[in-house]
Chains A and B, each alone.
Chain A
Amino acid sequence: MPFTTVAEHKTEHLSVLSADGSFDASVAPDISKEKLLEMYTVMTRIRVFDERAIKLQRQGRLGTYPQILGQEATQCVPALCLEPKDWILPTYRGQGSYFARGMQMRYSLMYWGGDDRGVQYPKENNDLMFSIPVGAHMTQAMGLAWGEKLKGTKNVAVCWIGDGASSKGDFHEAMTFAGVHKLPLIMFIENNGWAISLSRKEQCAAETLAQKGHGYGAHSIQVDGNDPLAVYKVVSEAVARGRAGEGPTVIEALTYRISNHTTADDASRYRSNEEVEEWKKKDPLDRFRKHLLKTGILDDAGIETIQKEAEEYVVGEVKAYEAFDKPNPLNMFANNSEKAPWHVIEQRAELEEILKEKQIRNEIPELPAAEGRFP
């Protein structure tokens, strides 16, 4: 018996926008002018926020911070393809996805400023707190998609992961379940080229990360992640498939982490400046701006207004962040369980006593009232 082919898989790539902002109308998404303006406005705000956050970190007004620069489209555009009741599970770098869904930037600053009152998303949203341990949220996203399917809703779950996370066993487990149960899960791989110091090539020997999806019976596609139109198209289609009960999609979005991994990292130790400069030419915001100007959706004055408004908005959010009282250390005891056990009640009382001792000795200033639910 000869060898026979039992399965063949092809992995396609989609790019709509060129570097100069011109586009291929044959593959362009059906998208309203309002949506385009919303995308550009949010991406601009994310860029301004990111620049501001880095300055705050350097001035000691923020802790270690993972920079977004260059990944505005991959963070913002998928979020804008969704309804509030769809689930989003961004990465720790993915503050932009929360912003696109209405989270006030002050709460992101609070979290990265080391304050547990941070990351507060709008009540009507199904946004989930990101996982700091890489990739632990993949199986959770699968479970969310499963739950929505069991409940009979049309809601989908979008899980952002990095190229690094696609190496974790969690990816395999999440996609195996999602494929078998035809779950409305969108595994959105933000391939930004680097997992701290490990390049994409050293991370996985496959030509694409998108093709991993074929192994689980998922629809799989690669997209230019710095091309907002292409990202919008593939994510919208994946969402439609999910809502129609046609199962999961793996999307690999090619983008680039222009900055260091975090403010604690020095990327010059492991990658060339030439590579970074090459990717800067593909900047998602620049390309999108050129496109909007070329198609007459915006003019120079309109661009300037959006930029100015974004700057004012971010300045306002930074002010709001810095206007919060310092947290009362007792806050840490709130919301740990529905009913606090005896030892935790004792420990909270002990901390209260310690705080009083420290106040008497002038080691700490007067504290605001404790917040949160206890016991």
Chain B
Amino acid sequence: MKNLLQGINEGLKQAMEADERVILLGEDIGKNGGVFRVTDGLQKTFGPKRVYDTPLAELGIAGAAVGLALTGLRPVAEIQFSGFSPPILDQVICHFGRMRNRTGGRNTLPLVIRLPQGGLIHAPEHHSEAPEAYYCHTTGIKVVMPSTPEDAKGLMIAAIEDPDPVIYFEPKRLYRLIKGEVPAEKYSTPLGKCRIAREGTDCTVITWGAMVHTSLKAAQELEKDGISIEIVDLRTLTPIDIEGVIASVKKTGRAVVAHEAPNTGSWAAEVSSLVHERAFDALKAPVERVGSWDIRQPLFKTEHFYIPDAHRVVRGVNKTLSRVGAVR
């Protein structure tokens, strides 16, 4: 049994063993092994020429990853907290997703940016954000987020081997919380494929990252009332596994999208829109979104009333189920 953090670490390690072009860079990732210890031991194993402690400059790290990738290396850069990632958007938006196209396919960016994501870890301000929508909105890049140790490893290897830029969100609340079997050999979890985290019949909950586990808890609550929900763990946020998502919604006839970010302009809005566009005939009720409130994220004493808990997912599911008028 390994936890999610160990899954990521093993993914990085095996990708580095398999391909000497893979190098890591970021603040405090070498000697210190990262503030969460995700890269623990990697500098010792691969040396300071493969695992770099960078100066404190997030935009510099992202731009460096572009340059390194253009020289044929495969950089994996860590931004310590996704709350500190806004400066890198300059490179992500203006260059990551555009380089291949504007150079006619000549210059490509096989790089990975690792971003610890999400809240409820009792941390200070700006250490708990869920900014995935800012990235998903950017064309030309992929965005992934695991929720199990097995996927954490497989998605990391797939992200590193992918020929285009991948943003790899790490739901940090799960780092040590979630344990599971992780196959020992090197394997990749395909990008663009969702996973059914739980089978059910009455409503589909589409979710990702730590909210997969919140939704699993909600499923137990709902089961007491005889309600069976199916949980789709997106794993790749973009490109979304449209077939997998639509198949589940067609089966249950209802959908809720549960996530940690505020609803307005969120990735949940995109998922909801896609479901309406492509499974309208199968829907017995409009798709609900369960997200954080559209306000500044509060400090940790009241954070658990900001980020949805299982109770709020239950409310969302009940809301779709109570839409009697919508049943056709």
Contacts and interface: CB of A to CB of B under 8 A. Distances in A.
Nearest to A364: B305
B298 A198 contact: no
A269 B124 contact: no
Contacts of A83: none
Contacts of B181: none
A92 B56 CA distance: 16
B60 interface: yes
User: Lowest 10 CB-CB distances: which A-B pairs, in order?
Assistant: A164-B56, A114-B300, A197-B32, A329-B305, A114-B301, A332-B298, A167-B55, A132-B126, A114-B299, A329-B302
A47 to B, nearest CB: 22
A196 B27 contact: yes
A27 interface: no
Given A168-B56, A269-B33, A133 B126 contact: yes
B84 A332 contact: no
Interface in B277-301: 293-296, 298-301
B28 A196 contact: yes
Interface in A129-173: 132-135, 164-165, 167-169
Contacts of B56: 134-135, 164-165, 167-168, 195, 198, 203
A299 to B, nearest CB: 42
Given A132-B126, A168-B59, A336-B295, 14 more contacts: A64-B122, A114-B301, A115-B301, A135-B56, A165-B56, A197-B53, A198-B28, A198-B53, A269-B32, A269-B33, A270-B31, A329-B302, A344-B293, A354-B311
A169 B295 contact: no
Contacts of B86: 133
A327 interface: yes
A213 interface: no
18 contacts: A114-B301, A114-B303, A116-B298, A116-B299, A132-B125, A132-B127, A165-B56, A168-B87, A169-B57, A169-B60, A195-B55, A327-B301, A332-B295, A343-B264, A344-B294, A347-B293, A354-B305, A355-B305
Contact of B83 (A133, A167, A351): A133
B77 to A, nearest CB: 15
A58 interface: no
A336 to B, nearest CB: 5
Contact-residue bracket for chain A: 35 or more
Nearest to A326: B301
B139 to A, nearest CB: 25
Contacts of B302: 114, 116, 327, 329, 331-332
Contacts of A51: none
Given A63-B124, A165-B56, A357-B311, A113 B84 contact: no
A20 B295 CA distance: 54
Nearest to B306: A332
A204 interface: yes
A332 B55 contact: no
Contacts of B58: 168
A244 interface: no
Interface string B43-74: 00000000001111111100000000000000
Nearest to B40: A269
Contacts of A202: 53, 55
Interface of B: 27-28, 30-33, 35, 53-60, 83-84, 86-87, 122-127, 263-264, 293-296, 298-303, 305-306, 311-312, 315
Nearest to B84: A133
A347 B315 CA distance: 13
B31 A197 contact: yes
B55 A164 contact: yes
B27 A269 contact: no
Contacts, number: 124
B124 A132 contact: yes
Nearest to B36: A264
Interface in A330-350: 331-333, 336, 341, 343-344, 347-348
A169 B122 CA distance: 30
A112 B124 contact: yes
A63 B53 contact: no
B124 to A, nearest CB: 5
A28 B159 CA distance: 60
A331 B28 CA distance: 36
Contacts of B124: 63-64, 92, 112, 132
A167 B60 CA distance: 9
Contacts of B264: 343
Nearest to B301: A114
Chain B CB count within 10 A is highest, among A63, A114, A132, A326, for A114
A270 B305 CA distance: 37
A322 interface: no
A112 B127 CA distance: 13
B28 A134 contact: no
B130 to A, nearest CB: 16
A114 B122 contact: yes
Nearest to B31: A270
B59 A169 contact: yes
Contacts of A116: 298-299, 301-302
B92 to A, nearest CB: 15
B316 to A, nearest CB: 11
Contacts of A348: 293
Given A116-B298, A197-B32, A63 B27 contact: no
B84 to A, nearest CB: 5
A111 B299 CA distance: 8
Contact of A113 (B53, B60, B296, B301): B301
Nearest to B53: A198
A265 interface: yes
Given A63-B300, A133-B83, A169-B59, A347 B294 contact: yes
Contacts of A33: none
A333 B55 contact: no
A245 to B, nearest CB: 32
Contacts of B32: 196-197, 269-270
A196 to B, nearest CB: 5
B23 to A, nearest CB: 17
A204 B311 CA distance: 50
A114 B84 CA distance: 19
Nearest to B295: A336
